[in-house]
Amino acid sequence: MLNRGRNIEKGRVITRRMFILAAAKILLFAGISSRLYNLQISDREKYEILSDKNRIREWKTPPQRGVIVDNFNKVLASNDRVFQLHLILDEINDFDVTMFKIKNLIGLDQFQIKKLYKKKERLKPWDTLVVSDNLTWEQFSKINLYLHELEGAKPVLSTSRFYPYANDLVHIVGYVGDASPKDLQKPEIKENFVPGLKVGKYGIENSLEKILIGNYGIKRYEVNASGKRISQIDYIKERQGNKVNLTIDIEIQKYAQELLKGRAGSICAMDIYTGEVVAMASSPTYDPNKFTHGINEKDWQEIRNNPLKPLINKSIAGLYSPGSTFKPLVALAALEYGILDPNKTIRCKGHKHPYELYGVKYHCWKKEGHGYMKLRNAIKQSCDIYFYEMARLLGVDKLSIIAKRYGLGTNVLGDLYNDEKNGLVPNTKWKRRALEQSWYLGETVINGIGQGYIQTTPLQLCLMTAQIANGGYKIKPHIIKDDTINYKDVINKIKLDQSNFPLHERNYLDDINVEYYQRMYHKKSNINFVLDAMFGSTNEQYGTSYRSRYDDPKYQFAGKTGTSQVRRITDLDRELDLDTDQIEYKKRDHALYVAFAPYKDPRYALSVIIEHGGSGSKAAAPLASKLIKRIIDRHKLREQINNGNTSLA
């Protein structure tokens, strides 16, 4: 019985203990359930995001750059097909072996190999290493031939920037290259950057990056734990950058570059009504295509060390004394202010009896002297003595008002080019502020012939000429097609206005701000006088550019030569009176020429500068003459395009 009672007791203990355990089990299972609830219901979103992060990986695809076209829709900067070699890193077992094979196939040197190894270190294991972004066809076909032996190698057909007119446009269009850390700080690049994307380095490529760069695409892949792509989930297509339409006529630009070949200098041409820059050549030049895939050291040194400075866009960043090309404007200023009667006669007596002011002698360029001169003749034959006297009477401050109004001393194209120079139109205020000296009358005298402190860019001279040639109206120079300008309206407005009567609501002789397409002159007759004198300078005997004239009224043009000294002319030089060829290059004068054409119904203005070219009439005017013919021949075509007839393109 005792045994039995004990047994019953034992059974009870076991059952009781079991229930205690069961209760514990229920508690623990409840714990598991609540944990499941936490993970799967409360925190579901968090883990869903983590799961997607695990399985979805994005690859950005580079956008194509917007194309740049000229006025006639000819492509100036395109996206050309290039052959590239990519290495998919996660498909490679032995990187060294693969590199060795590739090195032998396409002939990489030790330096390039080192660079690739460095590049690889910065990449993630599933990234793509671009071994070469520009293979030749031979290299590319060799790679394809041995592809089965190259693990992870991927021959890729891609696009890269190509400039079909290479040297002819580099100063305008610029070039692209790999983004530097500084480039990556620009918001438009930062937002759209994809590794390997080329960005604008110079010129329009650089300043219009926002328009040209486009938007990258995104390819979303599902990947497994080792990073291998399983399937493509999503592809947001990249958007090509927008087109940029220039006002340049590539035919004229090409011709201008050709004319400048072998010399240092610039040619600018502009529509005198619309302000469209038709050509803006700078010489010497270089090939922008060399920069796209990184320029090699030898080419770079060649460009950098060229004494003629190809890297400088001389049209907007070259500063020159305007020399005699400034004279029409000096004459205009004197007439506008009523300083002198154009019939006033001054005698130029040659080097033996120079102009004298407070004991300082000022010589005319012509050794024998011009004799008795009236204003028209003084412009036509470019007599310095007449202008010394006129400038003295006018004063530098009045002259500077007119010079600035007609486009000198400020940059022409706004902030399109960050290397564009302002130039300098001096006045007494400027000198006091900048040099802390007072103005000397002698400085006014030489300022009258475009020497001294005055500094202009070729494009400014072109603009000055254009704004005189269009009858004295302010225009808006531009190089990017501006859809907001209705060219027909602008031309009609200026052509119909040309008022002879002074407008009394504003005093044109004050330093006023003139709106675009508004008159800048005081008296119409003064403008006409200057234009007529410029006609004489080119088309009449004894005119300085008489030899470059056209008799055909279709091409007939008017202009003004200029020869700007790069150093002071000493008495010794005058005695020697050497020919240009006999002088050391660096010491030769700059040759300048400004002109507008056709004379009867002017439409284009241009400026030519040949650095150290000698005299304007010999070195610069003949080039202008040739270019003018070309521009006028193409005028009809241009007119049709600008009036909306795009079928010609």
Partner 1 sequence: MLRERIQASNYSFLDKLKSIDYLLILLIIAIGSISVFAIYSTEGGKFSFYTKNHIIRLSIFFSLFLLLSFVRVSTWYKNAYLFYIIGLVLLITVLFFGISASGATRWINLYFLNLQPSELMKIAVIICFARYYHRIQSSDIQSYKFLIQPIILLIIPCYLVIQQPDLGTSILIAGSGIAIIWLAGLNIKYFVYSGLLLLVSLPFAISILKPYQKSRILTFFNPDRDPLGAGYQIIQSKIAIGSGGFFGKGYLKGTQSYLEFLPEKHTDFIFTLFSEEFGFLGSIILLFLYILLIYRIINVGLVSRSFFAKLYCFGFATAIFLYVFVNIAMVLGMLPIVGAPLPIMSYGGSSLLSIMLGLSIVMSCKIYNQEQISVY
Which residues make up the interface to partner 1 (CB under 8 A)?
Answer: 6-7, 9-11, 13-15, 17-18, 21-22, 25, 28-29, 31-33, 35-37, 39-41, 43-44, 46-48, 50-51, 54-55, 222-226, 230
Q: Residue 232 belongs to what H/E stretch? A: strand 229-236
Min. distance of Cβ 234 from partner 1 in angstroms? Answer: 15
Min. distance of Cβ 25 from partner 1 in angstroms? Answer: 5
Min. distance of Cβ 178 from partner 1 in angstroms? Answer: 32
Min. distance of Cβ 126 from partner 1 in angstroms? Answer: 14
The encoded tokens of residue 170 equal 């580099």
| Distance between CA atoms of residues 231 and 477, nearest Å | 54
Within a 13 Å sphere around the CA of 197, how many CA atoms are in the beta-carbon half?
A: 28
Classify strands 56-61 and 217-223 as parallel, antiparallel or unpaired.
Answer: antiparallel
User: Closest CB to partner 1 among 55 and 404?
Assistant: 55
User: Closest CB to partner 1 among 9 and 91?
Assistant: 9
User: Closest CB to partner 1 among 225 and 496?
Assistant: 225
Instruction: State the alpha helices, DSSP H only, in 237-284.
Output: 250-260
User: Closest CB to partner 1 among 18 and 566?
Assistant: 18
- Output Rg (C-alpha) for the chain, integer angstroms: 37
Question: Which residues, other chains included, contact 396 with Cβ-Cβ below 8 Å and sequence gap of 6+?
Answer: 426, 427, 428, 439, 443, 444, 447
Question: Which residues, other chains included, contact 195 with Cβ-Cβ below 8 Å and sequence gap of 6+?
Answer: 60
User: Closest CB to partner 1 among 41 and 157?
Assistant: 41
User: Closest CB to partner 1 among 25 and 547?
Assistant: 25
| Distance between CA atoms of residues 79 and 198, nearest Å | 11
Within a 13 Å sphere around the CA of 397, how many CA atoms are in the beta-carbon half?
A: 11
Question: Which residues, other chains included, contact 623 with Cβ-Cβ below 8 Å and sequence gap of 6+?
Answer: 259, 260, 267, 593, 608, 610
User: Closest CB to partner 1 among 1 and 496?
Assistant: 1
User: Closest CB to partner 1 among 48 and 258?
Assistant: 48
| Distance between CA atoms of residues 331 and 130, nearest Å | 63
Question: Which residues, other chains included, contact 499 with Cβ-Cβ below 8 Å and sequence gap of 6+?
Answer: 519, 524
**Whether the Cβ atoms of residue 403 and residue 426 lie closer than 8 Å to each other:** no
| Distance between CA atoms of residues 156 and 123, nearest Å | 19
User: Closest CB to partner 1 among 53 and 298?
Assistant: 53
User: Closest CB to partner 1 among 40 and 306?
Assistant: 40
User: Closest CB to partner 1 among 14 and 434?
Assistant: 14
Min. distance of Cβ 123 from partner 1 in angstroms? Answer: 18
Min. distance of Cβ 151 from partner 1 in angstroms? Answer: 21
Min. distance of Cβ 24 from partner 1 in angstroms? Answer: 9
| Listed residue (569, 568, 544) closest to 622, CA to CA | 544
The encoded tokens of residue 581 equal 């060829």
| Distance between CA atoms of residues 506 and 503, nearest Å | 7
Min. distance of Cβ 150 from partner 1 in angstroms? Answer: 27
User: Closest CB to partner 1 among 14 and 441?
Assistant: 14
> What does the buried/exposed string (b/e) look like for 126-149 if buried means 16 or more CB atoms within 10 Å of the residue's CB?
bbbbbbbbbbeeebbebbeeeeee
Residue 23 burial by Cβ neighbours in a 10 Å radius (0-12, 13-18, 19+): exposed
| Listed residue (446, 338, 444, 327) closest to 378, CA to CA | 327
Min. distance of Cβ 54 from partner 1 in angstroms? Answer: 5
| Distance between CA atoms of residues 167 and 290, nearest Å | 10
User: Closest CB to partner 1 among 55 and 349?
Assistant: 55
Min. distance of Cβ 220 from partner 1 in angstroms? Answer: 14
| Distance between CA atoms of residues 643 and 638, nearest Å | 9
Min. distance of Cβ 216 from partner 1 in angstroms? Answer: 26
| Distance between CA atoms of residues 111 and 294, nearest Å | 14
Q: Extract long-range pairs of 176-180: CB within 8 Å, 24+ residues apart.
A: 176/65, 176/200, 176/201, 176/205, 176/291, 176/292, 177/201, 177/291, 177/292, 177/294, 178/294
Question: Which residues, other chains included, contact 453 with Cβ-Cβ below 8 Å and sequence gap of 6+?
Answer: 424, 426, 431, 443, 447
User: Closest CB to partner 1 among 226 and 513?
Assistant: 226
| Listed residue (453, 474, 462, 466) closest to 315, CA to CA | 462
Min. distance of Cβ 230 from partner 1 in angstroms? Answer: 7
Q: DSSP strand E in 31-140: where?
A: 56-61, 68-69, 75-88, 128-135
Min. distance of Cβ 39 from partner 1 in angstroms? Answer: 4
User: Closest CB to partner 1 among 230 and 512?
Assistant: 230
Min. distance of Cβ 22 from partner 1 in angstroms? Answer: 7
| Distance between CA atoms of residues 220 and 231, nearest Å | 9
Min. distance of Cβ 213 from partner 1 in angstroms? Answer: 35
